[in-house]
């Protein structure tokens, strides 16, 4: 069991109390910021560019829709930055450097996830620029970038998010730094995101919801109670 006073039950070096608590709180704040920003970005983006509806109609995009899309694209990089901070702090507070395999998978999946949403944002930015310049989103060739954006946001990023969930849950279970209900929730979430068929609506909101739950736990958990529980386990 990992102790907040700097030693684990199995004799491996743990995290110092004050530093551990700071990192746990940092991970919590960064995770909550990421969850709020990415959900806001997704809502703005989906309401600004409802590509599935535009395919079946002749409606043109309004200026309000374009403005919402611009706000979504402006906020997206900040969501990615917040996730990187969340990942770094989480690696310290939940993971452990001794598990190099899981650390590599954890970091790689998180970085690829951020890269995928950034690529989706870049493709969407090109579409917005084309529309502002007088383009027509309803032309068949313009639906190709829209399909790419949807696939990156809802399908491929979900697979990387799944690996991230599974690696964090494995860390938490092996190091006893997360409660069993949270590791089970993370495992179920990861398996769902890994196996869900392509094209399922709203699947992109599942990962931010899990990050928010994990962050809330890290933020509100009782350090004194955790320390006492760890001490009793060691005895």
**64 CB-contact burial (10 Å; exposed 0-12 / middle 13-18 / buried 19+):** exposed
Predicted TM-score (pTM) of the model is 0.80
CA distances from 235 to 164, 229, 230 (A): 33, 10, 9
Domain range annotation of the chain: 17-234
The pLDDT profile of the chain, 235 residues, written as one tens digit per residue, is: 333 323 343 433 344 566 667 777 888 999 999 999 999 999 998 888 776 555 555 556 678 888 888 999 999 999 999 999 999 888 877 755 556 777 888 899 999 999 999 999 998 888 777 776 665 555 555 677 778 888 898 899 999 999 999 999 988 888 888 899 999 999 999 999 999 998 788 899 999 999 999 999 988 875 544 444 444 444 4
């Amino acid at each position: 069991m990992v102790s907040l006073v700097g030693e684990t039950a199995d004799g491996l070096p743990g995290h110092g109390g004050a530093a551990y608590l700071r990192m746990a709180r940092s991970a919590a704040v960064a995770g909550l910021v990421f969850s709020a920003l990415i959900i806001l970005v997704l809502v703005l983006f989906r309401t600004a560019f409802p590509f599935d509806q535009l395919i079946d109609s002749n409606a043109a995009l309004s200026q309000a829709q374009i403005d919402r899309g611009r706000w979504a694209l402006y906020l997206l990089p900040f969501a990615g930055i917040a996730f990187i901070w969340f990942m770094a702090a989480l690696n310290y507070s939940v993971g452990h450097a001794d598990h190099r395999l899981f650390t590599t998978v954890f970091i790689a999946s998180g970085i690829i996830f951020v890269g995928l949403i950034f690529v989706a944002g870049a493709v969407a930015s090109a579409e917005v620029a084309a529309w502002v310049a007088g383009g027509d989103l309803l032309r068949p060739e313009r639906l190709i970038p829209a399909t790419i954006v949807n696939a990156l946001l809802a399908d491929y990023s979900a697979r990387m998010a799944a690996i991230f969930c599974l690696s964090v849950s494995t860390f938490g279970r092996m190091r006893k730094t997360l409660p069993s209900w949270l590791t089970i929730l993370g495992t179920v979430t990861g398996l769902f995101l890994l196996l869900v068929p392509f094209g399922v609506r709203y699947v992109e909101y599942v990962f931010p919801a899990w990050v928010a739950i994990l962050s809330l736990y890290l933020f509100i958990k009782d350090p004194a109670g955790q320390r006492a529980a760890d001490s009793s386990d060691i005895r």
